[in-house]
Structure 1
Amino acid sequence: MSASTDTVRVSERLDALPFTRRHGKILGGSGLGWALDAMDVGLISFIIAALAAQWKLEPAQASWIASAGFAGMAIGASLGGLLADRFGRRQVFALTLLVYGVATGASALVGGLAALLVLRFVVGLGLGAELPVASTYVSEFAPARIRGRVIVFLEAFWAVGWTAAAVIGYLVVPSSADGWRWAFALGAIPAVYALIVRWGLPESPRWLASRGRNGEAVAIVRDLEAAAGRVSLEPSNDGVSASAPAPRARVGALWSPALRAHTASLWVLWFCVNFSYYGAFIWIPTILVAQGYDLVRSFGFTLIITLAQLPGYAVAAWLIEAWGRRATLATFLAGSAIAAVLFGTASGEVAVIATGMLLSFFNLGAWGALYAATPETYPTSLRGTGAGWAAGVGRIASILAPLSVPPLLAAGGAPLLFIVFAAFFAVAVVASLFLREQRGRALS
């Protein structure tokens, strides 16, 4: 039996399964890693606000703390996808957690800006690789009929991590002069969790089968079937490991005639959504401080705004299987554009919180739909590469966004800044209309 035939049979058996406790363990285990990632990214927005006051940083210097991490994320996302297609999803997932956990913990010991920038770049390498690898990993276990919903639930762990960051930012960072160091120390948890991922979660059976390791793939599928109360008599075929295409060939394949329109749409989407999201949410605490709110109140507002992410994910998880990927993504992106304009022109505490919650609701719902649509666009042999490079292009925008905020604020204040973010969301709406609709379809 050929490796391609084995892959099809494994995929069919995975798609025929109900959602079991084994699926829940895979989703929860990956989601915890996702939440820890979000916690690290979210913490930096609070730490920047604290360090700007403590270290007397200029706005440009503060923006580089965020951008250094995003520079690492751009490289990490691209390399992580390539490595995941070559060495497996679980192995690379565990490695990314180890890298950014150790580097985040080390950040608690820095004494100046230069050392912090270097470590934030290393943190970014791990963070950038983890997200596309995790979404690819979970999508390859999820049955086709609920795959989009499962990935949105995975992305919902981002809200859990960002909320944890907001709580730490509110309670720990302002508590003392070393509060930001304790926040970084808490960010070292992923290094320990990497060991659990490495030995506690299975490898993707779709990836194993695509590499000719069908015996291992079938063993994992049988375990899932047993959890569902099913017994399969499907014979195991160990086969011979298939040769993987070279990294350059995999990247080139993303622009083959069959995929180039979808790749272009995804790259535009990832760039625009990253620019608007990180430009806004990394700077919200600092912008609120600049508008006259003290550090504690600014962090409290940010915590409330962050809580609106969870219902955004919940609604997106329902709509993505009811409406499909394109319609759900376009709707949430359009809502993000409107909310950005409202937030940028809001005045008064109630208006700031209400419009900020709207922006949080729509923007994170859009993220859930985007993460669901990205890995399923590509075949198994290119899935990690495709998701990783899309995320890598997006990280270029996340580097530029924090650097763009100070001059935009100087030129026109918050209204101009958030109108620019709204324009990027509007471009993303158009790009979403060219995506491949994969609702209910088997992964190729």
Structure 2
Amino acid sequence: MKTTAPSLAVEDSPLTPFLKRLTAYTSGGPFLDGYILTIIGMALLQLEPQLRLDAFWTGLIGAAALIGLLVGGAIFGYVTDLTGRQFMYQIDLIVIIIISILQIFVTSPFELALLRFLIGIAIGADYPIATSLLAEFSPRKYRGAMMGLLASAWYAGAVVAGIIGYLLLASGPDAWRWMLGSSAIPALLLVLGRWGTPESPRWLVSKGRTAEALTIVKQVYGSRATLDDLDEPASEKTEISKLFEPEYFKKTMFVGLFWTFQVAPCFAIYTFAPQILDAFHLGSGTDWIIGYAVINIFFLAGTVASIFFVNKVGRRPLILGSFTFMTLSMLFLGVIPDAPSWLIFICFAAYAFFSGPPSALDWIYPNELFPTNVRASAVGVITALSRIGAAIGTFALPYSLQTVGIGNTMLISTFITLLGLVTCIIWAPETKGLTLKEASSIVLNPK
């Protein structure tokens, strides 16, 4: 598709040191998400006997952060569109630090479930804040890679959580407390790193604050840059109801559904990986941790690969191919749960690797398909929609393993992943090489 390049100064900007720093510190939110949602799976090994957790409390504690993500995304995406990206960019991390420390002192399942819910709200708030800020500063040539790096950061957080959890397990029966409290450390580092980040000039223009926007544009992109380079409509009103009007409803449903069908089985597997690997007889004692860590590396490798392919291959072919291989991998695990261990491991590794590109597109698609005045709201609402499925899947997985077994549990996951593939076949657009204005003007299936 031929594009209208509005500016060498903005949309065709080089990858400056500022943009690299912004990408790094914006990625901190997904890193914390991956860390916090993964470390609970390892902590549950000690939590279950110590706090005498039954299937209800195990599922609820595992899903509580996801439920919080739902609430945080839905509320604070809209708040971010109203009040700006910069202010909220710091506050949510301070909340994560406080709650992380409080988890060290819990004495009951209810207390832990409540704190996991609250920390989920803070993480959910960071999704629309940070991703909107990054999308609105990023040049089109690098936008896919910069946004894709957020997904890599999620899996990097999960890998680090696995390492920290493994090291802490040997410290005694209260190691789970230090596991849950350890997320305060990266959160504190991010607060320091994010300090001084400027407001999004696109958001400022959309609110009529043109003088402030021009100052930031010239600071970031150079003295040649002007507000015309942004190609951003001025003084547009933020109304979250627009997401459910005909112009944007298909986009909301498309991203919300494919994100849901991708993360519902993925988050459940991540949270209860020890139990799942044990059901497949992959290791005994703590040997499963090695397999778990290696599978995490495949998750990370898939997201890193997506950074290189998202612009070369294109958004649509990448997501269709990935969902196809994810579905086939999960189908094999469901049909032949008694296959040799090495073959089961290969299927898990394949599922993990091909989960990478959809994870990257979770961030790329909503930030490209919606305009500035509702971009954070869209990311927040869609995050909430996706986490409904993820929370249900995570809560239900312990029951599923107990009642229908590992094979049928994997078949249920296969069906969910297949629905994601069908959604993408029907609606997935191509936004490669487009400016934010061009991408947000796309109409899905106009006929």
TM-score w.r.t. the length of structure 1 is: 0.89
* 1: CA distance, partners of 2:432 / 2:285: 44
Partner of 1:58 in structure 2? 54
* 2:398 is aligned with 1:406: yes
413, 425, 428: which one pairs with 1:435? Answer: 428
Counterpart-to-counterpart distance in 2, 1:402 and 1:14: 42
Q: Distance in 1 between matches of 2:255 and 2:208?
A: 29
Shift of 1:352: 3.6
Q: Which residue of 1 aligns with 2:445?
A: none
Shift of 1:41: 1.3
Say whether 1:286 aligns with 2:279.
Answer: no
1:129 aligns with 2:125: yes
TM superposition shift of 1:440: 1.0
Counterpart pick for 1:98 among 78, 94, 97: 94
- CA deviation profile, 1:131-166 (whole Å, cap 9, x unmatched): 232222211111112211221122211121111011
- Report the 3-state secondary structure (helix = DSSP H, G, I; strand = E; otherwise coil) of the residue aligned with 1:437: coil
| Distance in 1 separating the partners of 2:258 and 2:168 | 35
Aligned mate of 1:312, from 276, 282, 302: 302
What is the root-mean-square deviation in Å for CA atoms of aligned residues? 2.5
Distance 1:233 1:197, change over 3 A: closer
The residue aligned with 1:4 is none
Residue 220 of structure 1 deviates from its aligned partner by 2.2
**Partner of residue 203, structure 1:** 199
Cα 1:47–1:115 change in 2 (3 A) is same
Aligned partners of 1:105 and 1:427: how far apart in 2?
39
Counterpart of 2:329, as a letter, is A
Q: In the alignment, which residue of structure 2 is the partner of 1:374?
A: 366
Q: Which moved more, 1:432-441 or 1:343-352?
A: 343-352
CA offsets 1:375-414 (integer angstroms, 9 cap, x no match): 1110100100011100101111121012221232233311
Partner of residue 350 from structure 2, selected from 332, 341, 358: 358
Q: CA deviation at 1:197?
A: 5.0
Deviation of the 1:195 alpha carbon: 3.3
Q: Which one of the candidate residues 112, 135, 140 is aligned to 1:139?
A: 135
Give distance in 2, aligned partners of 1:147 and 1:157.
Answer: 16
In the alignment, is the contact (CA less than 8 A) between 2:203 and 2:373 conserved in 1?
Answer: yes
Displacement of 1:193 after TM fit? 3.5
- Any idea what SS the aligned residue of 1:258 has? helix
Kindly indicate whether the alpha-carbon contact (under 8 Å) linking 1:47 and 1:180 is maintained by their aligned counterparts in 2: yes
Change beyond 3 A, Cα 1:406–1:147: same
TM-score normalised by L of structure 2: 0.89
Matched, 1:265 2:254: yes
Mapped to 2, the partners of 1:338 and 1:198 lie a distance apart of 41
Percent identical across equivalent pairs?
24
Are the counterparts in 1 of residues 201 and 212 from structure 2 also a CA contact under 8 Å?
yes
The amino acid across from 2:321 in the alignment is T
Secondary structure in structure 1 of the residue aligned to 2:106:
coil
Report if aligned partners of 1:96, 1:129 keep a CA contact under 8 Å in 2: yes
After superposition, the Cα gap between the structure-2 partners of 1:10 and 1:82, relative to the gap in structure 1 and judged at 3 Å, is: farther
Question: 1:184 pairs with 161, 180, 183, which one?
Answer: 180
Cα distance in 1 between the residues matched to 2:343 and 2:51: 32
Distance in 2 separating the partners of 1:366 and 1:271: 11
Q: Which residue of 2 aligns with 1:423?
A: 415
Q: Which moved more, 1:432-441 or 1:384-393?
A: 432-441
TM superposition shift of 1:37 = 2.4
1:91/1:198 contact within 8 Å kept: no
Which residue number corresponds to residue 35 of structure 1?
Answer: 31
Give the match for residue 117 of structure 1: 113
In the superposition, relative to structure 1, how do residues 245 and 224 fare at CA in structure 2: closer, same or farther (>3 Å)? closer
- Structure 2 CA distance for partners of 1:145 and 1:191, relative to 1, 3 Å: closer
TM-superposed CA distance for 1:12, in Å, is: 7.1
Residue number in structure 2 paired with 1:252: 241
Structure 1 gap ranges (5+): 1-7, 237-241
Q: Determine helix, strand or coil for the equivalent of 2:27.
A: helix
**d(CA) in 2 for partners of 1:313 and 1:16?**
24
Instruction: Give the length in aligned residue pairs.
Output: 427
Alpha-carbon displacement from aligned partner over 1:275-313 (angstroms, at most 9, x marks no partner): 111122211112224555445212222111101122201
Residues in 2 aligned to 1:336 and 1:135: alpha-carbon distance in whole angstroms = 25
Q: Is the 8 A contact 1:328 1:369 kept in 2?
A: no
The 8 Å contact of residues 173 and 182 in structure 1, kept in 2 or not, is answered as no
Q: Secondary structure at the match of 1:203?
A: coil
Q: Secondary structure at the match of 2:294?
A: helix
- 1:87/1:194 Cα in 2 relative to 1: closer, same or farther (>3 Å)? farther
Q: Residue 281 of structure 1 aligns to which amino acid in structure 2?
A: Y
Query: After the TM superposition, which parts of structure 1 deviate over 6 Å for at least 4 consecutive aligned residues?
Result: 8-12
Decide whether the 8 Å contact of 2:150 with 2:363 is kept in 1. Answer: no
CA distance in 2, matches of 1:364, 1:225: 31
Deviation at 1:10?
9.5
CA contact (8 A) 1:39 1:164 kept: yes
**Which amino acid in 2 is paired with 1:223?**
Q
Give the CA deviation at 1:81: 0.8
Q: Residues 343, 217 of structure 1: CA spacing in aligned structure 2 closer, same or farther, 3 A cutoff?
A: farther
CA contact (8 A) 2:10 2:225 kept: no
Match of 1:335 in 2: 325
Name the aligned partner's letter for residue 101 of structure 2: G
- Paired residue for 1:324, among 314, 317, 321? 314
- For the pair 1:277 / 2:277, whether they are aligned, the reply is no
Residues 236-247 of structure 1 mapped to structure 2, 5 A cutoff: 245=237
Correspondence for 1:239: none
The equivalent residue for 2:215 is 219
